[in-house]
Amino acid sequence: MADHYEVLGVARDASQDEIKKAYRRLARQLHPDVNPGDDASERFKLVTHAYDVLSDEESRRRYDMGGDENGGFGAGGFGGFGDIFETFFGAAGGGRSARPRSRRERGQDALVRVNLDLGDVVFGAHRDIEVDTAVLCETCHGSCCQEGTSPVTCDICGGSGHVQRQVRSLLGNVVTSQPCGTCEGYGTTIPYPCATCGGQGRVRSRRTVSLDIPAGVETGLRLQLPGSGEVGKAGGPNGDLYVEVTVASHPTFSREGDDVLATLEVAMTDAILGTETTIEGLDGPVELEVRPGVQSGDVLTIKGRGITPLRGTQRGDLRVGVQVLTPTKLDSAQRRLIEDFAKKAKAPEPQLAQFQQGLFSKLRDRFRGH
């Protein structure tokens, strides 16, 4: 076997940079697309093999020691004949690795938005969504051709989808491969395209998609429906459909995690004496007991009347903050009663609390604390 250093024309102590430069110079001269002779082809293989061995430090060390070089195509930095071919003559150079494109393509993903009420979030909801998208052509069923016809082999590229051109470069005359402009790289042409879809194999249409929206969703969440997006060209596989959720604000209730929050206005007399009332929750009536002496900012918690979590079954709670209403208009009789009550109750003088905060801040902190 020829000495690898002699094949490349370098000294045995040559650096990796010197080896690479020598290889590139010889590869330009001997590549089959530039020098098609048999002798040049054999020399090119020897040069390539020598470079594969010497460009790898470990295989070069074993070779210098006279052991197994573990060389061969693909062992070195350029990875063999195919990679060398790409390095000097382009990824599709000479047409050796060129393949025609497939007309079948995966369809694009689609995005639609759905609006929900807070009540829909408690247990989930069902929606039938109208989607304007691409569907399979019912006339040609994705073949892109008129009935009784089929694609024919391109007479320009011969079905390869690529054409070769000889161009001048720093390397001399180099043969390059480019997609065929006649068939657009498909390798075939459609002389009689389907009149319904214009040879695309798909048409725009409006269709209905049924969607079960799980409980616990929130604004901005996207649900993925695999295979429900646009059909691809020439009957290619469908893309996915994404449904983005928007939850409308509610006039009475708000949400915090899986809990539902509300505020209950209580008359001063009911706050003093206590009362029972029924409110209309998101999923039906809810009975509330207001204990005597309740204060503004107190929170009444009703277990299990909140939202079912997105990944779970244990519902959150309904938390109702109390706001005691003080009457602003009293007649003379009512005022006398209140004054008499104040004298008998001997209420303490008004004074600042240790930390003063507004009602809404107090309610917010109470909500967070329960």
Residue 84, C-beta contacts closer than 8 angstroms, at least 6 positions apart: 27, 31, 48, 78
- The structure tokens listed for 151 are 């694609």
**Calpha distance 160→266 (Å, rounded):** 82
* Range with the poorest average pLDDT among 86-90, 136-140, 164-168, 305-309: 86-90
Q: Are residues 317 and 272 in the same domain?
A: yes
The answer to the question of residue 101 being in a domain is no
Residue 262: give the domain boundaries.
254-369
The answer to the question of residue 47 being in a domain is yes
- The structure tokens listed for 199 are 């040879």
pTM of the model: 0.60
- pLDDT range class, residue 98, cuts 50, 70, 90: low
Element (H, E) at 338: helix 332-345
The answer to the question of residue 99 being in a domain is no
DSSP E strands in 248-317: the ranges are 254-256, 259-267, 275-281, 284-290, 299-302
Domain boundary among 222, 247, 272: 247
- pLDDT range class, residue 368, cuts 50, 70, 90: low
Domain boundary among 54, 89, 124: 89
The answer to the question of residue 105 being in a domain is no
- Predicted pLDDT at 266: 93
Q: Does 159 have pLDDT greater than 80?
A: yes
The answer to the question of residue 277 being in a domain is yes
CATH number assigned to the domain comprising residue 40: 1.10.287.110
Q: Are residues 278 and 333 in the same domain?
A: yes
- Predicted pLDDT at 360: 46
- The structure tokens listed for 73 are 């195509």
pLDDT digits (tens, 9 = 90+) for 223-279: 999 999 999 999 999 999 999 999 999 999 999 999 999 999 999 989 999 999 999
Q: Are residues 332 and 207 in the same domain?
A: no
- Predicted pLDDT at 112: 92
Contacts of 175-178 spanning 24+ positions with Cβ under 8 A? 175/33, 175/89, 175/93, 175/94, 176/89, 176/90, 176/92, 176/93, 176/94, 177/90, 177/92, 177/93, 177/94, 177/95, 177/98, 178/92
Domain boundary among 229, 247, 265: 247
SS3 126: strand
Q: Are residues 79 and 177 in the same domain?
A: no
CATH number assigned to the domain comprising residue 299: 2.60.260.20
The total domain count for the chain is 3
- Predicted pLDDT at 225: 92
- Predicted pLDDT at 38: 63
Q: Are residues 210 and 290 in the same domain?
A: no
- pLDDT range class, residue 75, cuts 50, 70, 90: very low
Q: Does 111 have pLDDT greater than 60?
A: yes
The answer to the question of residue 102 being in a domain is no
Q: CB neighbours (10 Å) of residue 191?
A: 11
CATH number assigned to the domain comprising residue 141: 2.10.230.10
- Predicted pLDDT at 71: 40
- pLDDT range class, residue 177, cuts 50, 70, 90: confident
Q: Does 188 have pLDDT greater than 80?
A: yes
The answer to the question of residue 97 being in a domain is no
Q: What is the mean pLDDT of residues 345-367?
A: 60
**Calpha distance 359→57 (Å, rounded):** 76
Q: Are residues 135 and 66 in the same domain?
A: no
Q: What is the mean pLDDT of residues 306-325?
A: 91
Q: Are residues 67 and 146 in the same domain?
A: no
Cross-strand pairs, 260: 255, 318
DSSP 346: T
Helix axes 81-89, 38-54, angle to 10 degrees: 100
Q: Are residues 177 and 215 in the same domain?
A: yes
The answer to the question of residue 233 being in a domain is yes
- Predicted pLDDT at 23: 85
Q: Are residues 270 and 319 in the same domain?
A: yes
Q: Are residues 84 and 9 in the same domain?
A: yes
Q: Are residues 185 and 303 in the same domain?
A: no
Q: Does 292 have pLDDT greater than 90?
A: yes
Q: Are residues 304 and 361 in the same domain?
A: yes
